[in-house]
């Protein structure tokens, strides 16, 4: 098998069908798609299954999982079986159900990976339906980036420019720290050296964690804007697109963030990261109030952050 594409569905059947429809003209020899359903409990299985049969998408398989174990769990169930098969895939593409692929998106990823053997992971350019670029190439989270993310003050942002997690997206292929899991291709060798995605992340930070593990194993991660994928932001998760309406951060987001820092950098570093963000964010909230700036933060963000910080919840993984 040249390429296995994994789509994890949770109560987004029509989006998933639209994603499969965009895949259809790009599927070639040695390519397979597995849709894993994270126990949606709705009509997802019926809608997706009927679409596969009606359109004769012989390259697609629908698998019902026995629990909703999150993003990593849903992907791993398909990847694990494929890697143990007699014909394991050379590459695995993680693809969100709320995506629609532009022409040539898969071919560009495969061509790049085959030309660059040191690249273990590559991510597509994510964009709005109108072509507006979404940031999908990132730097790793640090104490400095947490402070900048919290305080949002021009001078400090300029001083910490090299630490900003989400810099403007480059318009050419570029090496980066991590890419969005909405469209991320992975070389089989990465799994062989680092293992599968960490299932203790229910959702969020799992792709950051995985890209960091790949880097520590000697693999490069690249951003490939030639591979273009429409991403309907927030349609498949509890976090909404901030440009639409604000929504309170779910507890599992804080759990994932805390796990990432403790697992990869240790308890002391995680404590400093929490302090850095809390101080920066508190200063920003005061400044926002005094300057009457628009409030775009998730509701109750500071209180939720403190309640879910390492100082309250502890460092248990």
How far CA 8 is from CA of 76, 95, 159, 308, in Å, comes to 10, 8, 39, 27
Domain ranges of the chain: 3-134+169-231, 145-154+238-317
Q: What is the C-alpha separation between 99 and 16, in angstroms, rounded?
A: 8
Per-residue pLDDT of the chain (317 residues; tens, 9 = 90+): 999 999 999 999 999 999 999 999 999 999 999 999 999 999 999 999 999 999 999 999 999 999 999 999 999 999 999 999 999 999 999 999 999 999 999 999 999 999 999 999 999 999 999 999 999 999 999 999 999 999 999 999 999 999 999 999 999 999 999 999 999 999 999 999 999 999 999 999 999 999 999 999 999 999 999 999 999 986 665 554 445 567 899 999 999 999 999 999 999 999 999 999 999 999 999 999 999 999 999 999 999 999 999 999 998 87
What's the rounded Cα separation, in Å, for the pair 36 and 63?
Answer: 5
For residue 241 the two structure tokens come to 């697109």
Task: Decide the pairing of beta strands 220-231 and 99-101.
Answer: antiparallel
Token digits for 64? 């019902």
3-state secondary structure of 206: helix
Fold of 3-134+169-231: Spore Coat Polysaccharide Biosynthesis Protein SpsA; Chain A (3.90.550)
Q: Which two tokens stand for residue 259?
A: 């796990």
């Amino acid at each position: 098998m040249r390429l296995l594409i994994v789509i994890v569905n949770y109560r987004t059947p029509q989006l998933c069908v639209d994603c499969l429809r965009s895949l259809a003209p790009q599927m070639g020899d040695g390519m397979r798609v597995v849709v894993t359903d994270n126990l949606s409990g709705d009509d997802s299985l019926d809608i997706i299954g009927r679409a596969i049969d009606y359109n004769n998408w012989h390259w697609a398989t629908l698998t019902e999982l026995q629990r909703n174990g999150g993003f990593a769990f849903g992907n791993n169930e398909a990847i694990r079986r494929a890697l143990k098969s007699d014909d394991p895939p050379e590459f695995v593409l993680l693809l969100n159900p709320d995506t629609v692929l532009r022409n040539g998106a898969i071919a560009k990823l495969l061509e790049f990976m085959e030309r660059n053997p040191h690249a273990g992971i590559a991510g597509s350019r994510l964009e709005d339906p109108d072509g507006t670029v979404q940031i999908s190439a990132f730097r790793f989270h640090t104490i400095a980036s947490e402070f900048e993310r919290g305080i949002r003050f021009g001078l400090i942002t300029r001083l910490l420019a090299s630490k900003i997690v989400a810099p403007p997206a480059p318009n050419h292929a570029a090496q980066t720290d991590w890419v969005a899991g909405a469209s991320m291709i992975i070389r089989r060798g990465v799994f062989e050296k680092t293992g599968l995605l960490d299932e203790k992340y229910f959702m969020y930070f799992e792709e950051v964690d995985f890209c960091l593990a790949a880097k520590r194993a000697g693999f490069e991660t690249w951003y490939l804007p030639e591979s273009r994928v429409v991403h309907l932001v927030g349609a498949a998760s509890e976090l909404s697109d901030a440009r639409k309406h604000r929504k309170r951060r779910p507890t599992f987001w804080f759990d994932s963030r805390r796990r990432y820092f403790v697992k990869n950098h240790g308890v002391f570093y995680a404590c400093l990261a929490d302090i850095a963000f809390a101080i920066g964010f508190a200063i920003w909230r005061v400044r926002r109030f005094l300057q009457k700036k628009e409030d775009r933060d998730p509701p109750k963000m500071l209180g939720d952050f403190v309640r879910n910080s390492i100082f309250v919840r502890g460092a248990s993984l």
